[in-house]
Amino acid sequence: MSFLPKSRLLPRLLAVCIVAASPLAMAWTDKPVRLLVPAPAGGTMDVVARIFANQLSADIGQPVVIDNKPGAGGAIAVQAMMGAPRDGQTIMVTASNVLTEIPHVMKTSFDPLKDVRPVATIARAGMVLVGGAQLAPNDMKELVAYVKAHPGKQSFASYSAGTSSHYAGMILNQKAGLDLQHVPFAGSPPALTQVIGGQITVMFDGIVTSMPQIKGGKLKAFGVASKTRSAHLPQVPTLAELGFPELDFSNWLGVVVATGVPTDIVDKINAATLKAASAPAIVERLSSVGFEPNTKLSSSELAASVKAEYDRNAGIVKAFNIQINQ
């Protein structure tokens, strides 16, 4: 066996390193990428998508063009994705609830388990049970006692019927023996306004939207709906710690493609997405607004996670007889 002299070996190693670090090493295409977003410009999902698109473009050396397709619970964007060639040129940034929650309460024109292939996550968002700062209880034990002492007079808001914000409130009622009345809203902002004002008792909301109000002293947090504490609210116990392990809800933002995109391309998009999502600037920006650290999963692992969450939510919808909108 012969070895190259160091004088010849070093340049070759450097060349390999340069190739591995180049945009071409991360690219799955030599053309601009269309990035669908099932939300209007300016919203949380759109902002995350644009931050991600800028980093992804730098990593793969190709333009990444945002195409907002809001409406119909994400179905308009999914249909646009399904109508495009299955070559990886069209990808979509979405929230997991488009696949795991909305299809249970709204008729959609796609099958989330058959027509959509999850690729990789960008960020995760936890949930927290909040009440207005003026609310008398200061912890979960006091909250349960307070609601029981005022039967039929207390309520919980959700940012939409049939979402995890709704599911969590129903499960809390069941497990704690409460009779909180459900009041659905069209999004978190109007719901939080009512909670802050005292018209609604409590709400399970995303940490991303509640954290500014918690830190501003307008909301108090009773528990985080996960098995581990949030890095953003480390002083707030998990609801599992407080005796409610069933209250474990979170959503992710990530990339999906239409089923039929070749696996080798999906794997490259997965690698490029995870690399972009782990860029320090993106991690810092997303963390600053309340997103949790990302979890690096393969496409198949993420698909299994989506299936498990979809099935769990189907059981919740059935158990609480949550009606499907026709």
pLDDT band for 19, please (50, 70, 90 cuts): very low
The b/e string for 230-251 (b: 16+ C-beta within 10 A; e otherwise) is: bebbeebbbbbebebebbbbbb
pLDDT (tens digit, 9 = 90+) per residue, 57-76? Answer: 999 999 999 999 998 889 99
Average pLDDT over every residue of 205-224: 95
Rounded CA-CA distance 9/38 in Å is 50
pLDDT (tens digit, 9 = 90+) per residue, 262-277? Answer: 999 999 999 999 999 9
Instruction: Please tell me the predicted confidence (pLDDT) of residue 24.
Output: 54
pLDDT (tens digit, 9 = 90+) per residue, 98-138? Answer: 999 999 988 888 999 999 999 999 999 999 999 999 999 99
Average pLDDT over every residue of 78-91: 97
Tell me the β-bridge partners of 123: 253
Which regions of the chain carry the CATH code 3.40.190.150?
29-125+250-319
Count of C-beta atoms within a 10 Å radius of residue 104: 20
Rounded CA-CA distance 171/316 in Å is 9
Nearest to 86 by CA among 141, 29, 133: 29
Give the chain's mean pLDDT: 91
* Alpha-helix residue ranges (DSSP H) falling in 139-187: 140-149, 164-176
What letter does residue 249 receive in the DSSP assignment? -
Average pLDDT over every residue of 174-195: 95
Fold designation for 29-125+250-319: D-Maltodextrin-Binding Protein; domain 2 (3.40.190)
Fold designation for 126-224: D-Maltodextrin-Binding Protein; domain 2 (3.40.190)
Instruction: Please tell me the predicted confidence (pLDDT) of residue 108.
Output: 87
pLDDT band for 320, please (50, 70, 90 cuts): very high
Share of the chain above pLDDT 70, in %: 91
Instruction: Please tell me the predicted confidence (pLDDT) of residue 326.
Output: 45
Under 8 Å CB-to-CB from 202, ≥6 apart: which residues? 129, 130, 131, 135, 143, 154, 156, 157, 169, 180, 195, 222
Rounded CA-CA distance 216/199 in Å is 19
Paired tokens of 31: 């053309």
Under 8 Å CB-to-CB from 250, ≥6 apart: which residues? 124, 125, 126, 127, 225, 226, 292
Paired tokens of 163: 């979402």
Residue type at 246? E
Q: Is the pLDDT of residue 176 over 70?
A: yes
Which regions of the chain carry the CATH code 3.40.190.10?
126-224
Query: Using an 8 Å Cβ cutoff, are 74 and 97 in contact?
Result: no
Instruction: Please tell me the predicted confidence (pLDDT) of residue 325.
Output: 56
**Whether pTM exceeds 0.75:** yes
Q: Is the pLDDT of residue 18 over 80?
A: no
Between 1 and 279, the higher pLDDT residue: 279
Q: Is the pLDDT of residue 145 over 50?
A: yes
> Which residue reads 């690729």 in tokens?
119
